A and B are shown apart, each in its own frame.
Chain A
Amino acid sequence: MREYKILLTGPVGAGKTTAIGCVSETSPLITDVPNTDTSIDKQFTTVGLDFGQITLDNGDRIRLFGTPGQARFDFLWKILAKNALGVIVLMDNSRAAPLDDLSTYMQTFVESSRLEPPCVVGVGRMQAHPIPTLDDYAARLATEGWVFPILDVNVRNRSDVILLIDALLTQFGVDIQGGKK
């Protein structure tokens, strides 16, 4: 049996905790506490980590680690990213400058990593906030020299989150059923 560690990161409110809770087959570990930052419209926020697990059909297991979104918790980011085989960056298209958010998280989790792990970008809340488009995200990645899958997702929808994971696994040659592609 093989284990894959996948990191979910992205700005506060992008839905990292929700995504992990949506797909984890075990009760997710969550470190949410009441949010006191009035600039963020949410009741609770992650201050430690999120953790969930998925078992593939062949018995291989994916361990999902979610980071806190706020930069004040950046001391945790590198700890959580250690040995991750891939990174899912969740974006919130309703934020003021999502493309700048993308650059920040890509530089932190992909560019600064020696191994430059495979990456997938999931963009949420696109229906209510269609701009920037997925093409805009792709263009921003291209300016930094990256080409990664970018998907429109609703993290409350399990199949959307599974699709993100599948897209990531595809980059290192494993599909969600656990077989080699």
Chain B
Amino acid sequence: MNVKHGLSSAVIARAQREAQKLVDELAGVRAAVVATADGFEVAYAVTGDANPARVAAMTSSIVAIGGVVAEEADLGRRESLILLTDSGFAVFQSVHRRDSELVIGVLAQNCGVPALVSYRAAQFAKALVEA
């Protein structure tokens, strides 16, 4: 399988650095994955047994389904989704680049702070749009 996302190596390197920073700097974060809109990982940082390919595919699906919900409800363009569970949370963020639509998936345990992770994921997306 060959993936052609059209991203420069500089953008991928930036994505990799930012993903690693998210995992290193935020409490509870155990995976940060940047993926194409169709679910192929572009850059990632994980701890433990999180599988970047699975996270990439799931992020792609949930962001797309969220986009349909937003469209049906006339809520505008999709930006982010937060999934809260009894032992953690996940943040899914759209990245609306001109050359390639990307998604970011961040998985965290409940010692993390959802608002902070959500903010950083949005900043991450902004950095990727501008990269």
**Residue interface mask B49-70, A partner, CB < 8 A = 1:** 0000110011011101101100
Q: How many whole Å from B83's CB to the nearest CB in chain A? A: 14
B10 contacts partner chain A, Cβ-Cβ < 8 Å: no
- Say how far A111's CB is from chain B's closest CB, in angstroms: 23
For A, the interface residue count at a CB cutoff of 8 angstroms equals 21
A72 at the interface (CB under 8 A from B): yes
Contact segment of B18-26, B37-45, B84-92, B111-119: B37-45
| Assembled-state Cα–Cα distance A48/B57 (Å) | 10
CB–CB B2/A39 < 8 A:
yes
A:14-61 near B, CB below 8 Å: 29-39, 45, 47-49
Given contacts A73-B57, A75-B54, contact A38 B37 (CB under 8 A): no
Do residues A31 and B39 form an inter-chain contact, with CB atoms below 8 A? no
Q: Is the CB of A47 within 8 A of B40?
A: no
- Beyond A31-B68, A75-B54, whether A38 also contacts B3 by CB under 8 A is yes
Number of B interface residues at 8 Å Cβ cutoff, please give it. 24
Q: Check if A47 sits within 8 Å of B64, measured CB to CB.
A: yes
Question: Closest approach, in angstroms, between the C-beta of B94 and any C-beta of chain A?
Answer: 11
What's the least CB distance linking A31 to chain B, in Å? Answer: 4
Question: In the complex, what residue of chain B is closest to A38 when comparing beta carbons?
Answer: B2
Task: List which A41-95 residues lie within 8 A (CB) of chain B.
Answer: 45, 47-49, 68, 70, 72-73, 75-76
**B1 sits at the interface (CB 8 A):** yes
Q: Give the A-B pair count, Cβ closer than 8 A.
A: 66
In chain A, what residue has the closest Cβ to B4?
A: A38
Let me know if B74 is at the binding interface, CB within 8 A.
Answer: no
Instruction: Collect the chain B residues with CB atoms within 8 Å of residue A68's CB.
Output: 61
Question: B residues within 8 A CB of A34?
Answer: 36-38, 100-101
A81 to B2, CA, bound (A): 29
- Residue B130, interface by CB 8 Å: no
Pair A36/B36 contact, Cβ less than 8 Å: yes
Whether the Cβ atoms of B38 and A48 lie closer than 8 Å is no
B5 interface contact, C-beta 8 A: yes
Roughly how many angstroms separate A33 CA and B65 CA in the complex, as a whole number?
Answer: 11
How far is A70 from B67 in the complex, measured between Cα atoms in Å? 20
Please, which residues of chain A bring their CB within 8 A of the CB of B64? 31-33, 47-48
Which 7 A-B residue pairs are closest in the complex by CB-CB distance? A31-B64, A33-B37, A48-B64, A48-B65, A72-B57, A38-B2, A47-B60
Beyond A31-B67, A36-B37: 4 further Cβ-contacts under 8 Å? A33-B38, A33-B60, A72-B57, A75-B61
What are 16 pairs between A and B in contact, CB < 8 Å?
Answer: A29-B68, A31-B67, A32-B64, A33-B60, A35-B38, A36-B3, A38-B2, A39-B1, A45-B38, A47-B37, A47-B39, A47-B64, A48-B68, A68-B61, A73-B61, A75-B54
